[in-house]
Amino acid sequence: MNTLRNKVQLIGNLGNDPEIINLESGKTLAKFAIATNESYKNSQGEKVTDTQWHNIVAWGKTAQIVEKYVTKGKEVAIEGKLTTRTWEDKDGMKRYTTEVVCNELLMLGK
């Protein structure tokens, strides 16, 4: 049951090409965002699509696969865990971001 404590599974499409960062330590980092869509009918019977954007980070071999094969518009399934980072911006304000650290990636579609 411990594996369910912080587990995220998403299927969505990339909004842009991934940003690939090769660190001095030799590690590779891939950053990208995927959009998930949910459709429903409102009270007037009209179809409404709600799009949510999710920031994804991948490390190591997963990042290398992202670099080689994943581009803007591609549909992917990802599994990972939620993390929150904090940093100070140029004005000294504390900022927060929530990301999904991708452990597994599956390319879908064509």
Q: What pLDDT score does 110 carry? A: 67
How many C-beta atoms lie closer than 10 Å to residue 78's C-beta?
23
Domain count, the chain: 1
Q: Do you know the residue count of the chain?
A: 110
- 53 beta partners: 35
Structure-model confidence comparison of residues 3 and 50, the more confident one: 50
Q: What is the pLDDT of residues 22-51, one digit of tens each?
A: 999 999 999 999 999 999 999 999 999 999
Quick check: 87 pLDDT over 90?
no
Q: What is the pLDDT of residue 3?
A: 67
32 burial via Cβ count (<10 Å: 0-12, 13-18, 19+): buried
Q: What is the dihedral of CA 30, 60, 6, 4, to 10 degrees?
A: 130
3-state secondary structure 45-107: CCEEEEEEEEEEEEEHHHHHHHHHHCCCCCEEEEEEEEEEEEEECCCCCEEEEEEEEEEEEEE
Which residue segment(s) compose the domain that 92 sits in? 2-107
Q: What pTM did the predictor assign?
A: 0.85
Tokens of 95: 């900022």
CATH number of residue 18's parent domain: 2.40.50.140
pLDDT single digits (tens) 61-78: 999 999 999 999 999 999
| Position 32, amino acid | F
